[in-house]
Amino acid sequence: MILHRLRTRPAAWKTRKLTIASRWLTPFIAVEWGFEWVAFALSNWTFIEVLEYLETFSVLIAVIFYFAESGDRVKQRHYQAWQVIDTAQGKGGSGGRIEALQELNADRVPLVGVDVSSAFLQGLDLKKANLLRSDFSSADLRNSNLAGVDFTLANLNTANLRGASLDHAKCVQTDLRDADLAGSSLVGADLSGASLDDADLRGADLNGIEWQHLKSAKGANIAGAKNAPAGFVEWALRNGAIEQPASEE
């Protein structure tokens, strides 16, 4: 908001001099008196007022353009994130993929079919991500937060998921063969149609898992698995699972 104030005409120098208490102050008062005249002249100059309005108007236009282009900026950010993921496909290491995946998921972008096989993604936070048909085979996902993700038809073959949270994850027809799930949390996870052959489930929290329609668990190590639902251990052992503590390896 512009507060344009008209200034009163400064007194004449002869009158102003009479108000000076000490002679040594005269040069300073003279300079101030000169600026008072400059300010008075400019306050009555309409051009200055117009410039003030134009300055405010330019700020308003900049704000309008900023919000108008926000959608394009988001699209550009998403495009760059996908570029990072696609460029590093099939390579080891992170290559900026942790940040790219988390940014896309934070914006609720579906990560359907994403391929990050063999990537180093330790500590990844993709809570509630849509990872349908994704490929995380041989990826290092230790201590990652994958709670509530949709891993339907995903490939997690030989993935390292030690200490990861897959609470309430949807692992329908997911390939978890030879996956390292030791110490992970699978509370409430849906494992319908999933393959757990040779998976390491030692010390994993299996509280409330949907296991009745598991495809297979041959060779899966369930030693020390916690909170397994009624009937699971018996079914698993009957279908080829083993209980082999670390000390016996």
Q: Which residue has the higher pLDDT, 47 or 225?
A: 225
Q: What is the pLDDT of residue 34?
A: 76
Indicate if the pLDDT at residue 64 is higher than 70: no
| Average per-residue pLDDT for the chain | 87
Q: What φ, ψ does residue 170 adopt, rounded to 5°?
A: -100, 100
For 99, other C-beta atoms within 10 Å of its C-beta total 13
Distances (CA, A) of 192 to 24, 74, 107, 114, 195: 95, 37, 29, 22, 9
Among 5-9, 33-37, 115-119, the range with the most confident prediction by mean pLDDT is: 115-119
DSSP state of 248: G
Which class for 224: exposed (0-12), middle (13-18), buried (19 or more C-beta within 10 A)? middle
Mean pLDDT, residues 209-238 taken together: 97
Give yes or no for a contact between 184 and 222, defined as CB atoms under 8 angstroms apart. no
Q: Which residue has the higher pLDDT, 128 or 90?
A: 128
- Residue-wise pLDDT tens digits, 77-118: 999 999 999 998 878 888 899 999 999 999 999 999 999 999
Label residues 11-30 b or e (16+ Cβ within 10 Å = b): eeeeebeeeeeeeeeeeebe
Q: Which pLDDT band holds residue 42 (cuts at 50, 70, 90)?
A: low
Q: Which pLDDT band holds residue 248 (cuts at 50, 70, 90)?
A: very low
CA 33 – CA 90 distance, rounded (Å): 75
Q: Which residue has the higher pLDDT, 65 or 198?
A: 198
Indicate if the pLDDT at residue 249 is higher than 50: no
Q: What is the pLDDT of residue 45?
A: 61
Indicate if the pLDDT at residue 40 is higher than 60: yes
Q: Which pLDDT band holds residue 53 (cuts at 50, 70, 90)?
A: low
